[in-house]
Amino acid sequence: MATTQEVLDAAKKLGSLINEHDAAQRMQQAVEVIQQDNEAQRLLNDYNRQVQTIAEKESQGKPIEVEDKRALEKLQNQIASNPTLRQFQIAQMDYVDLMRQVDEAIAGKAPQAAAGAQAAPPPGAGGGAGGPAGGGQPGGLVF
């Protein structure tokens, strides 16, 4: 039977391997580029505010106005056409895929995709990240 320390040591090793992986490196680079891009940050902040506004209206049972939906759609289009955010989304999807494969390996499932054979997601794809051992998504950016 493994000791707690052995499990923790293996987790640290896994975390180091994940951080050294190309997908994690690209993700970290994409986060750093966003941190230097004021327009990308503004778009993300505006998008997150609009999502929050709509969520608050929904939770309060208030109607979602057409203007709210249009504003959200406009921000989504601006994000999809921003080169910095598009690169971030691609890096994020690759990182999420890596975390999914790690999670499946930990759970004892066979990975569905061959290592290194990852298709690039379409522009405009996005999502959150998280996973075991690797500590989720670098930089904490989600949109």
Token digits of residue 41 = 């940050």
Using a cut of 0.85, tell me whether the model's pTM lies above it: no
Helix, strand or coil, per DSSP, at residue 93: helix
Specify whether the CB–CB gap between 41 and 34 falls below 8 A.
Answer: yes
Residue tagged 């995709």 (tokens): 113
> In this model, does residue 124 exceed pLDDT 60?
no
Q: According to the model, what pLDDT value does residue 118 have? A: 43
Token digits of residue 84 = 């910095």
Token digits of residue 50 = 């609009």
pLDDT tier at 109, thresholds 50, 70, 90 = confident
Which CATH homologous superfamily contains domain 15-122?
YheA/YmcA-like (1.20.1500.10)
Residue that wins the pLDDT comparison between 131 and 67: 67
> In this model, does residue 25 exceed pLDDT 70?
yes
Q: According to the model, what pLDDT value does residue 116 have? A: 45
As a whole number, mean pLDDT of residues 81-87 equals 96
Phi, psi angle pair for 37, to nearest 5°: -110, 100
Q: According to the model, what pLDDT value does residue 143 have? A: 56
Token digits of residue 5 = 């320390």
> In this model, does residue 56 exceed pLDDT 80?
yes
As a whole number, mean pLDDT of residues 122-127 equals 38
**CA dihedral of residues 134, 138, 140, 141 (deg, nearest 10):** -130
Q: How far apart are CA 88 and CA 111, in angstroms?
A: 24
Please report, for residues 19, 70, 84, 104, the alpha-carbon distance to residue 139 in angstroms, rounded to integers and kept in the order given: 13, 29, 15, 24
Task: Name which of 128, 47, 46, 49 is nearest 95 in CA terms.
Answer: 128
Of all residues in the chain, the percent with pLDDT exceeding 90 is 75
Burial 29-66 (b: 16+ CB within 10 A, else e): ebbebbeebeebeebbebbeebeeebeeeeeeeeeeee
Specify whether the CB–CB gap between 134 and 24 falls below 8 A.
Answer: yes
